[in-house]
């Protein structure tokens, strides 16, 4: 999913939340801004916008998967999980 992001947004997220090459910990928004020539506020807005975009993509993918399972169960192709005991046998 990160690969689908624009380069600048992906770069900001990686620097902010993951270890950076020269630093053993994630950088602050202020340091990111200094490195990329942006203000701290611009970095903050980009992080928020990008996180919201990623969250929406994850929710959309989850919804599609859940709809697919519900449809398959309704068509009889896949049965819902039956309760099982500790050995894995149906109750």
CATH number where 69 lies: 1.10.10
Q: What is the pTM of this model?
A: 0.65
| 9/47 Cα distance (integer angstroms) | 7
Q: Is 80 part of a structural domain of the chain?
A: no
What pLDDT shows up at residue 87? 72
Q: Between the CA atoms of 40, 41, 42 and 48, what dihedral angle is there, to the nearest 10 degrees?
A: 110
Average pLDDT over residues 49-78: 80
Contact 31, 40 (CB under 8 A): no
Q: Is 81 part of a structural domain of the chain?
A: no
Report how many domains make up the chain. Answer: 1
What pLDDT shows up at residue 50? 95
Q: Which of 4, 42, 43, 6 is nearest to 27 (CA)?
A: 43
Q: Is 87 part of a structural domain of the chain?
A: no
Average pLDDT over residues 60-64: 89
Average pLDDT over residues 7-22: 83
What pLDDT shows up at residue 24? 62
């Amino acid at each position: 999913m990160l690969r689908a992001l624009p380069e600048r947004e992906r770069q900001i997220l990686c620097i902010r939340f993951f270890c950076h090459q020269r630093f053993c910990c994630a950088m602050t928004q202020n340091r990111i801004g200094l490195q990329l020539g942006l203000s701290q506020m611009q970095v903050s807005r980009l992080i928020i916008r990008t996180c919201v975009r990623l969250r929406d993509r994850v929710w959309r993918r989850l919804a599609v998967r859940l709809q697919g399972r519900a449809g398959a169960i309704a068509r009889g192709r896949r049965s819902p999980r039956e309760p099982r005991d500790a050995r894995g046998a149906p109750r």
